[in-house]
C-alpha cells in the first residue's frame, strides 16, 4: 500500500484515531532489537502521540536523545472488518521508522514529513487486542533529509553512560522528532480508490478539469466522478477512470478568496457501491510569464512568511489550535502566502490554506546541503569564507535516492491542493560545483515529470549563490532569495552600507536574469520583544523595523521582485549556541504568537500593497 489519500470516513471506508498516550522507551544502550522490544515494551513511561518527544522531560538526556525511540499501543479490531483491507497510517515518523504488528515487521519508511501505510490485514487478531510497536530513529547523516551528523561526546570519568551520542544538525532549527503527526487505523475495500489527480484549464467562463483515478485491486469496476459546488448542487459528472469534467460557469479559487468544489469518486459494480472517496478542490491555474507570477492569468505579489511547525511543549507535533491561531494572525497582518520551510507540513495545514486562500511554496526537506564553517553560518558570506563542495563522496548516491523519493512523495501527497503554487526543492544548498549542477538537474527534472499540474520550481539561495558566483539558478522557473543585509551582512550602524551593497547585488541580478521573477523567501533580524532602545541597536524592536524599512525600499525599486516572505513568522527553537538565546528570535510574532513592533509595520505595508 502506498496511497497518499488523506484518511476520510465514507460509506465504504472506516477511520479510527490511534492518537493518545502510548508507551515509550528510549534505547540508550542500543539493545532494543536484541532484547525483542518489537514484541512489547517493559515500560511504565507514557508519551502523547502526536507530538515531538523532546520537550516533555526535565532531563537533558531526553531532550537531546539521539537514536531509537520505541513506541507501543494496542487496538482491538472488530471481526466485521474481515472483508476489508486493514492498514495503519502514520502521517509522519521523524526521521525514519520500522513498524511491528503483533511482533512482525510490517513496514519501514525513510523521511520524517510525509505519510506511509502499513498493511496489517493478514496479521490481524480479530476481536482481540493487537499490539503496535514503532521504532523511530531521529539521527541525521549526509544521506538524510534534512542533513546533519551524529557525534559522540566524552563523559567524565566514573559516569554511568558508556557513550553519549549528540545530533549535530546542518540547519538552524531544532531536530524535533518522534511520532509527530496523527496515527490512524484504516479499513478499506479490497478494491479501492488508490489515488486521484486533477489538472485545470480555463475555458472562457468555465473550466476543463482533466482527472485520473488509480484503482487498487483486481475486480472490474465502473468509475464515476461527480462535482458539487459549495451549495451542494451537482455541477459536473463523468464516467471512467480518466476523463475531462466541464464546469461552466466556474467559480475560481483565488488568493484570499477561496472557493472549493467537492469531487466525489465512486467505484461501482452492477450498480452496487464498492468504494467512495471525496476531496475538496479549488480550481485555478498557476504559471510564470516573463517577470510575473500569474494566478488564473493575473499577476500576484506574494506577501507572507517563512514559517516552522514549532510551538511550546509539543515541538513540531501536530497542534490544531496553533494552526488556527497562525492563520488568524496571517489574515490579520495582511499576508497571502508562506513557504513550508524547511520540510512538508502537516496535511491539515494545506487543507486550511486551501480553505483560506493562501498561496504556498511547498518545500522538500533538503536543508543542510552546504558546507560552511560555524562562523560563516552566523556571520554570512560577507566574511569571505567560501563554502566547500557538498555533492561529492560516497554518501551522495543514497542521498540522491532519498531526495528523489522525498520529492515523489511530496508531490503525490500535495498535487491536488490549490494552495500549492510552487515546489522548493532545496534550501540554501551548495551550487558552484559541477557535481551540484548534475544533482540539481536530476531533481528539477524529476519534479517536472512527477507534477501533473507542472507547477513552477525553485530553490532558496543563500548569499554565496550570487550573480558573480552563481550556479544552478538556470533550473529555476523563478528565483527565491534568502538575504540578510542589515543583519549578518553589515548590521547595526552599517545598515546604510548594507542597502548600498543590497542594491548592487539586485542590479547584477537584473542584468543576469532580466526576465525572471524573484521572491525573497528570507530576510530579517533577531529581535527580543522586551528590548527597546533609541537610537536603535541590533536585537531591539526599533532595529527590526528599521531593517524592514530598508528592505522594503529595495524591494519596491525592482519590478522583477514579486514577493516578500520574511524570516520568520514566529520565534522558534534551535540548538544551543552562543548565537542563540533559547532559539531563533527572528519572529514577527513571539513563539507564543504575540506581535512584535514589526508586525504592525508589516500590517500597514501589506494592506497598502
- Annotate 20-71 with three-state secondary structure: EEEEEEECCCCCCCCCCHHHCCCCCCEEEECCCCCCCCCCHHHHCCCCEEEE
Same domain, 314 and 346: yes
Is the pLDDT reported for residue 265 higher than 90? yes
H-run or E-run covering 324: helix 320-333
Q: How many domains does the chain have?
A: 3
Same domain, 349 and 488: yes
Query: Is residue 338 located within the same domain as residue 416?
Result: yes
For the chain, what's the residue count?
A: 609
What is the share, in percent, of the chain residues with pLDDT greater than 70?
96
Residues 371 and 493 in one domain: yes
Tell me: pLDDT of 183 over 80.
yes
Report the distance separating Cα 57 and Cα 65, nearest Å.
11
Task: Say if 375 falls within a structural domain.
Answer: yes
Residues 200 and 183 in one domain: no
Whether residue 125 sits in one domain with residue 60: yes
Model pLDDT for residues 347-388, shown as the tens digit of each residue: 999 999 999 999 999 999 999 998 644 334 444 444 455 556
CATH number at residue 360: 3.20.20.80
Residue 604 lies in a domain: no
Q: Give the pLDDT of residue 362.
A: 98
Q: Which residues contact 312 (CB under 8 A, 6 or more apart)?
A: 55, 591, 592
366 within a domain of the structure (yes/no): yes
Backbone angles phi, psi at 498, to 5 degrees: -60, -40
- Which of 110, 428, 462, 499 does the annotation list as catalytic? 428
Instruction: State the chain's mean pLDDT as an integer.
Output: 94
pLDDT at 301 (0 to 100) = 98
pLDDT at residue 381, rounded to an integer: 43
Per-residue pLDDT at 158 exceeds 90: no
What is the mean pLDDT of the segment spanning 128-141?
A: 97
Query: Which CATH number characterizes residue 53's domain?
Result: 2.60.120.260
Domain that holds residue 51: 14-138+175-188
**Distance, CA of 160 to CA of 28 (rounded, Å):** 11
* 429 and 301 together in one domain: yes
253, 284, 315 — which closes off a domain? Answer: 284
- Beta-carbon contacts of 502 under 8 Å, excluding residues fewer than 6 positions away, are 483, 485, 550, 551, 554
Residue 324 lies in a domain: yes
Residues 124 and 86 grouped into a single domain: yes
pLDDT, one tens digit per residue, over 51-87 is 999 999 999 999 999 999 999 999 999 999 999 999 9
User: What's the confidence (pLDDT) of residue 379?
Assistant: 41
* Lowest pLDDT segment from 107-121, 367-381, 413-427, 507-521: 367-381
Examine the fold and report which residue of 237, 262, 284 is the final residue of a domain before the chain moves on. 284
Instruction: Check whether residue 318 and residue 262 sit in a common domain.
Output: no
21 lies in the same domain as 78:
yes
Q: Answer yes or no: do 92 and 222 share one domain.
A: no
By CB neighbour count within 10 A (0-12 exposed, 13-18 middle, 19+ buried), where does 409 fall?
buried
**Quick one: pLDDT at residue 373?**
40
Residue in 522, 531, 546, 564 annotated catalytic: 522
Beta bridge partners of 119: 87
Residue 195 shares a structural domain with residue 184 = no
> Is 469's pLDDT higher than 90?
no
| CATH number of the domain enclosing 243 | 2.60.40.10
Residue 2 has pLDDT above 90, yes or no: no
**Does 57 map to a domain?**
yes
Residues of the chain with pLDDT > 90, as a percent, come to 89
Query: Could you tell me if residue 33 is inside a domain?
Result: yes
214-232 pLDDT per residue, tens: 999 978 999 999 999 999 9
Among 55, 41, 47, 186, which residue's Cα sits nearest to residue 116? 186
Could you tell me the pLDDT band of residue 1, with boundaries at 50, 70 and 90?
low
Annotated active-site residue 31? The verdict is: no
Q: Choose one of 232, 254, 284: the last residue of a domain.
A: 284
Active site residue 64: no
In a domain, 167, yes or no: no
Is residue 252 situated within a structural domain? yes
Amino acid at each position: 500500500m502506498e496511497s497518499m489519500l488523506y484518511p476520510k470516513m465514507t460509506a465504504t471506508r472506516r477511520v479510527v484515531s490511534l492518537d493518545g498516550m502510548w508507551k515509550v522507551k528510549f534505547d540508550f544502550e542500543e539493545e532494543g532489537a536484541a532484547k525483542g522490544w518489537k514484541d512489547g515494551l517493559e515500560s511504565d513511561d507514557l508519551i502523547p502521540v502526536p507530538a515531538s518527544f523532546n520537550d516533555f522531560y526535565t532531563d537533558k538526556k531526553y531532550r537531546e536523545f539521539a537514536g531509537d525511540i520505541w513506541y507501543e499501543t494496542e487496538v482491538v479490531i472488530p471481526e466485521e472488518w474481515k472483508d476489508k483491507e486493514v492498514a495503519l497510517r502514520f502521517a509522519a515518523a521523524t526521521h525514519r521508522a520500522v513498524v511491528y504488528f503483533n511482533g512482525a515487521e510490517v513496514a519501514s519508511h525513510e523521511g520524517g514529513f510525509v505519510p506511509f501505510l502499513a498493511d496489517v490485514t493478514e496479521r490481524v487478531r480479530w476481536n482481540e487486542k493487537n499490539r503496535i510497536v514503532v521504532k523511530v530513529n531521529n539521527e541525521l547523516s549526509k544521506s538524510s533529509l534534512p542533513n546533519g551528523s551524529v557525534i559522540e561526546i566524552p563523559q567524565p570519568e566514573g559516569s554511568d553512560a558508556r557513550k553519549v551520542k549528540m545530533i549535530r544538525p546542518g540547519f538552524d532549527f531544532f531536530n524535533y522528532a518522534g511520532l509527530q503527526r496523527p496515527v490512524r487505523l484504516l479499513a478499506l475495500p479490497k478494491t479501492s480508490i488508490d489515488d486521484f489527480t486533477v489538472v485545470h484549464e480555463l475555458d472562457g467562463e468555465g473550466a476543463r478539469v482533466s482527472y485520473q483515478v488509480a484503482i487498487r485491486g483486481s475486480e472490474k469496476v465502473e468509475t464515476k466522478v461527480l462535482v458539487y459546488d459549495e451549495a451542494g448542487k451537482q455541477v459536473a459528472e463523468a464516467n471512467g477512470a480518466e476523463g475531462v469534467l466541464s464546469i461552466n460557469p466556474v467559480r475560481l479559487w483565488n488568493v484570499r478568496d477561496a472557493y472549493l468544489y467537492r469531487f466525489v469518486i465512486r467505484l461501482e459494480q452492477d450498480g452496487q457501491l464498492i468504494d467512495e472517496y471525496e476531496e475538496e478542490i479549488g480550481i485555478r491555474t498557476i504559471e510564470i510569464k516573463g517577470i510575473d507570477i500569474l494566478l488564473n492569468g493575473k499577476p500576484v505579489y506574494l506577501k507572507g512568511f517563512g514559517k516552522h511547525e514549532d510551538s511550546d511543549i509539543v515541538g513540531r507535533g501536530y497542534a490544531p489550535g496553533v494552526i488556527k491561531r497562525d492563520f488568524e494572525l496571517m489574515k490579520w497582518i495582511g499576508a497571502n502566502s508562506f513557504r513550508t520551510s524547511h520540510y512538508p507540513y502537516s496535511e491539515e495545514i494545506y487543507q486550511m490554506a486551501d480553505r483560506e486562500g493562501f498561496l504556498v511554496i511547498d518545500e522538500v526537506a533538503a536543508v543542510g546541503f552546504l558546507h560552511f564553517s560555524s562562523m560563516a553560518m552566523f556571520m554570512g558570506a560577507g566574511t569571505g569564507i567560501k563554502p566547500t563542495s557538498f555533492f561529492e563522496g560516497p554518501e551522495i548516491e543514497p542521498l540522491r535516492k532519498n531526495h528523489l523519493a522525498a520529492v515523489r512523495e511530496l508531490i503525490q501527497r500535495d498535487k491536488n491542493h490549490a494552495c500549492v503554487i510552487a515546489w522548493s526543492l532545496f534550501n540554501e544548498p551548495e551550487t558552484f560545483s559541477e557535481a551540484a549542477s548534475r544533482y540539481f538537474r536530476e531533481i528539477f527534472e524529476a519534479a517536472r515529470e512527477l507534477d501533473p499540474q507542472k507547477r513552477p520550481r525553485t530553490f532558496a539561495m543563500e548569499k554565496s549563490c550570487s550573480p558573480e558566483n552563481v550556479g544552478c539558478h538556470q533550473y529555476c522557473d523563478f528565483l527565491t532569495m534568502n538575504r540578510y543585509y542589515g543583519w549578518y551582512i553589515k548590521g547595526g550602524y552599517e545598515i546604510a552600507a548594507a542597502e548600498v551593497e543590497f542594491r548592487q547585488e539586485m542590479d547584477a541580478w537584473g542584468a543576469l536574469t532580466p526576465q525572471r521573477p524573484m521572491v525573497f523567501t528570507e530576510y530579517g533580524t533577531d529581535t527580543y520583544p522586551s528590548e527597546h532602545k533609541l537610537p536603535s541597536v541590533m536585537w531591539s524592536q526599533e532595529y527590526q523595523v528599521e531593517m524592514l524599512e530598508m528592505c522594503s525600499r529595495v524591494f519596491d525599486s525592482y519590478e522583477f521582485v514579486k514577493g516578500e516572505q520574511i524570516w520568520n513568522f514566529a520565534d522558534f527553537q534551535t540548538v544551543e549556541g552562543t548565537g542563540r538565546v533559547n532559539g531563533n528570535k527572528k519572529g514577527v510574532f513571539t513563539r507564543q504568537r504575540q506581535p512584535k513592533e514589526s508586525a504592525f509595520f508589516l500590517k500597514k505595508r501589506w494592506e497598502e500593497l
